[in-house]
Amino acid sequence: MTEVMETRLTPDPTAGDAATWWRQAAVYQIYPRAFADANGDGLGDLPGITARVPYLRSLGVDAVWLSPFYPSALADGGYDVDDYRDVDPRLGTLEDFDALVAALHDAGIKLIVDLVPNHTSDRHVWFQEALAAPKGSPARDRYIFRDGKGPDGAEPPADWPSTFGGPAWEPVGDGQWYMHHFAVQQPDLNWKNPEVRADFLRTLRFWSDRGVDGFRVDVAHGLAKDLGDELPSQAELDALPWDGNHPLWDRDEVHEIYAEWRGVFNSYDPPRTAVAEAWVAADRRARYASSAGLGQAFNFDLLEADFDAAQFREIITFNLELAAASGSSTTWVFSNHDVVRHATRYGLPPRRTGTDGEKPREKQGKRWLLSGGTEPELQRELGLRRARAATLLELALPGSSYLYQGEELGLHEVPDLPDEARQDPTFFRSPGVDVGRDGCRVPLPWTREGASFGFGPGSGPADLPQPDWFGELAVEVQEDDAASTLTLYRRALGLRRELQTEEELTWVETGHADVLAFRRPNGWLSVTNFGDAAVDLPDGEVLLASAPLENGRLPGATTAWLRA
């Protein structure tokens, strides 16, 4: 193998530096209602997480990202927030939150909490005030209200669809309508309103004072909007580029909001961190990741790619260059609470690709989900094998890796939840067209047996039904199995800590189009075989492999780490 092309990045922060820990962190996402249930009501809770801190520690993650745990009617899995400065009573209390922070910190694990600033829930005191207040009132100005069209305002102000299906405008009965990008229970806030801005600064301080280390910012590219009284049609919106001037998305002035937030983050020692969920073109991501703004942004490019060497190499190279240009570190993600789990995606045929390099439009796994998991046929073992290889590759990359609960157990998506158990608004708002995201949010199995496979202590089931096959993948089953996915994650995360080095990568030419290899500055070498046939490994000590080697050779769909 010969070496080519070095991607040099910003100097590595000192390992353990309190201000830069996030740059190459392994962050584990907890979807709190589906992680562990301490009180036996079928819903995961904060004490459940606290009780599992030893598990997180043994897994070896650097930080936890906690999806929303705030009071919520769960119209969108908690992303409909009633009160930004409290805990959902079904999940615990503020004291339970403090106990969780303390337990994580004692275990050397940081905590990032999810912040949902684009919209509140319809139960938020502000929205209730807005409904009770007249047109043109200060209470309505905190949201986006417009008069309806036609006689009596009976028609929506615009024909925009919401992300979860159905219209994006909802009437309130007096000729006015409010805008909701997402579920009808998630009215969008008006970020031109100074009260809205001030209140979020208060929320940032509230959680920072309680010891959180950072924030994950939901729909970070949606806050700033520029809507006059005459609204464009959806066709007109579609024709506009996302160049900083689009009325709804990725507007340049959104960064003024984040600059203000940065002032709050930097008033703490160590400064609080943030990561933007911003679905924007790669070249516009850097502004969210700027140290004058949120500091880091999710990069979903690998999540959207097929298990394919050429796609992976291009995405990795491009994103490392981008990160270097922004001064931030890049992020890598394969799974989260919004997408079909990567073990499953990789076991399905690649989507039809668009013409001329266009991204496929169909969501990965959608057809399979709609068929209840029968069409096309899922190759379960192959999918998991590839997922393990991809994760091992990911964990060797410079930058942060965001892992989603349950991927360390090799969980597949659950495609066949009964309709009556489904919770995702996508399912209800797009009947027959989309089943939504519940299949990756099924509560974790901790034990082989039991009504909820150890998710809760009692004899009742978890609030989303777990399939029978979850038992075989329980933590308890995998813990002492040297070949399990849990063991692989533990060993990989442990080794990653030891091996972590400067944010630099050098590609090593392998002579095989299907084999990607890269070296980190200290000789940490990661080799992934995306193909089928086994290949020779370069010289070096093999530290870990995602599947057994074949007579010292690297089989298909396998990654190995070497010290070379």
Nearer to ligand NOJ by Cβ, of 117 and 153: the residue is 117
Min CB(423)–ligand NOJ separation in Å: 12
Whether the Cβ atoms of residue 111 and residue 101 lie closer than 8 Å to each other: yes
Q: Which of 506, 511, 548, 512 is nearest to 525 (CA)?
A: 506
Q: How far apart are CA 516 and CA 309, in angstroms?
A: 6
Q: Which is nearer to ligand NOJ, 208 or 336 (CB)?
A: 336
CB of 258: closest distance to ligand NOJ in angstroms? Answer: 17
- Whole-number minimum distance, CB 388 to ligand NOJ, in Å? 25
Q: What are phi and psi of 319, to 5 degrees?
A: -70, -30
Instruction: Kindly list the distances between the CA atom of residue 98 and the CA atoms of 46, 51, 216, 391, in Å, as whole numbers in the listed order.
Output: 10, 13, 19, 32
Task: Match 């708002």 to its residue by tokens.
Answer: 429
CA-CA distance, 221 to 301, in Å (whole number)?
17
Please identify, using beta-carbon distances, which residue of 423 and 558 lies nearer to ligand NOJ. 423
Name the minimum Å distance from CB 277 to ligand NOJ: 6
| Helix, strand and coil percent figures for the chain, each rounded to 5 | 30, 15, 50
Shortest Å distance, C-beta 278 to ligand NOJ: 11
Helix/strand/coil for 17: coil
Which CB atom, from 182 or from 307, has the smaller least distance to ligand NOJ? 182
Query: What's the closest the beta carbon of residue 276 comes to ligand NOJ, in angstroms?
Result: 11
- Which residues make up the interface to ligand NOJ (CB under 6 A)? 76-77, 79, 116, 182, 218-219, 277, 337-338
Residue nearest to ligand NOJ (CB): 79
Cβ pair 248, 144 in contact under 8 A: no
**CB 218, min distance to ligand NOJ, A:** 5
**Burial zone of 418 (CB within 10 Å; 0-12 exposed, 13-18 middle, 19+ buried):** exposed
**Smaller CB separation from ligand NOJ, 285 or 385:** 285
Shorter beta-carbon distance to ligand NOJ: residue 120 or 400: 120
- Smaller CB separation from ligand NOJ, 62 or 76: 76
Sorted by sequence, the CB contacts under 8 Å of residue 496 that are 6+ apart come out as 26, 60, 395, 396
- Structural tokens at position 518: 């890269």
